[in-house]
A and B are shown apart, each in its own frame.
Chain A
Amino acid sequence: MYPHERSLVQKYQDKPFAIVGVNSDPTLEFLRGVMKEKELTWPSFFDGGGTGGPIATRWGVRGWPTVYVIDHNGIITEGNRGNLDEVIERLVNEVPPARN
C-alpha cells in the first residue's frame, strides 16, 4: 500500500488532495518509527495502540486496510477500493478553484 499512497501524494502534491490515516499500531513511538522508516509524509490519527481502538471500533472497521474517499465537501463518496484512482482523479478535478 505505501508505494501506491506515496505515488498519489506525489501526483496530487499541488492539488486539493490529502491522505489521512487512522493507525492501529501498538505505540506512538512505533508509529513514528514506521513513518520515518517508510518515509510517510501524510498525517495519521493514532488509534490508541491496537485494532480495538476507539476510532476503528466506532467506524466498525474489521479489516485493514479499509479506505474511504471523502470529497471536498466532506461527503463520503467511495466506501472501498475498486477504481480508487479514477474516483480520486474525478473528485480532485471537481474541486472548484480556491478563491483568494
Chain B
Amino acid sequence: MRLPTLLAAVLVLLVSAAVLAQDTPADPVQEELEALLAEHEHSELGYPEAYRAFLPRFEKFAKDHRGTEPEVRATLWLIQQAWWLREGNSMDKVNEAAMPLAEDLLKRHPNSPQLDLLVEYKYNFSKEQRDLLFNRLLEISHEPRVKAAAHFGLAQASPARDADGAPNPHFAALTTEFANVKWRETTYGAIASAYLNPLSPADLAQGKPAPEIEGIDHNGKPMKLSDYRGKVVLLDFWGDW
C-alpha cells in the first residue's frame, strides 16, 4: 500500500470515528434525569419521606422538559411513587393522583416506548382504570413492547383459560404475535406460556416427580434440573434482597 493511500485510509477512519461519536451525543437532559433517579434511589431518607422530598424536584423536571422522553420518565416516576399517598388500606388518593398523569401521558406521548411502565405500576390504578388505560394503549401505541405490556396487563385481569381450555385473547396474542418481544431478559411468550401451563399444588406435592426445568445459568449456558438426577437436590428460589 502506498503511503498516501495509507494516510487517506487513516483519515477516513478518523473522520468516521468523529461522525459516529457525533451521532450519539450525550443528552444532558437524559443525564440530569438519570442523576435525579439515582439520587432518589440511593437516598437515605425513609420511603414516604424520600417521596415528599423528591416530589417537587421531579415535578419541576417534568415541567421544565415538557414534551421530551425524559419528561415521560419523570412523570412515570410520579405515577409509581403515588403509592405513598395511600391511607391505610385505601388506594383512593393513589388512584386519584396516578390516573390524570397517565391519561395526560397517553394524550401527549402516545408512542413513547416507555409507556410499558404503566403496566409495571398497575398496582396504583383501580381495576376500572387499568382496563381503560391498557385498552387505550393497545389502540394508540405503535410500539411492540408497549402493546405486549398492555396485553399482559389485560391478560392477568381475567382467567388464563376459558371453560374449554382456550387461552384468553390477550395471552393468545402474547404467545403468537408478541411471543418474541422482550420482557427484561426473557420474552412475553415465555411468561405467557408459564401462566397458561401452571403447575398445580398437586403437581408439586410430596411424592411427585419434580417437573423438569430448562433454562440458563449465570453465564447464559443451558442447564436442566434433570442434570442433577442421582443427587439429593435442594431447589432454592432466591434473590439477593
* Contact surface of A with B, Cβ cutoff 8 Å: 1, 5, 8, 16-28, 30-32, 34-35, 38, 43-61, 64-79, 84, 88, 91-92, 95, 98
Contacts and interface: CB of A to CB of B under 8 A. Distances in A.
Contacts of B213: 22, 45, 55
Contacts of B127: none
Contacts of B215: 22, 45-47, 55
Contact of A23 (B193, B198, B228, B239): B239
Contact of A48 (B191, B226, B241): B191
B123 to A, nearest CB: 13
Contacts of A91: 232
Interface residues of B, number: 45
A20 B232 CA distance: 10
A48 B186 contact: yes
Contacts of B208: 75-76
6 contacts: A16-B232, A64-B237, A67-B234, A69-B233, A75-B210, A78-B206
Interface string B180-199: 00011110001101110111
Main secondary structure of the interface of A (DSSP, over half): mixed
B236 A21 contact: yes
A71 B232 contact: yes
B201 interface: yes
Contact of A18 (B185, B211, B218, B234): B234
Given A25-B239, A73-B229, A44 B217 contact: yes
B41 to A, nearest CB: 13
B26 to A, nearest CB: 22
Contact of B185 (A21, A49, A56, A77): A49
Contact of B232 (A18, A22, A43): A18
A85 B191 CA distance: 33
Interface string B209-227: 1110101111110010110
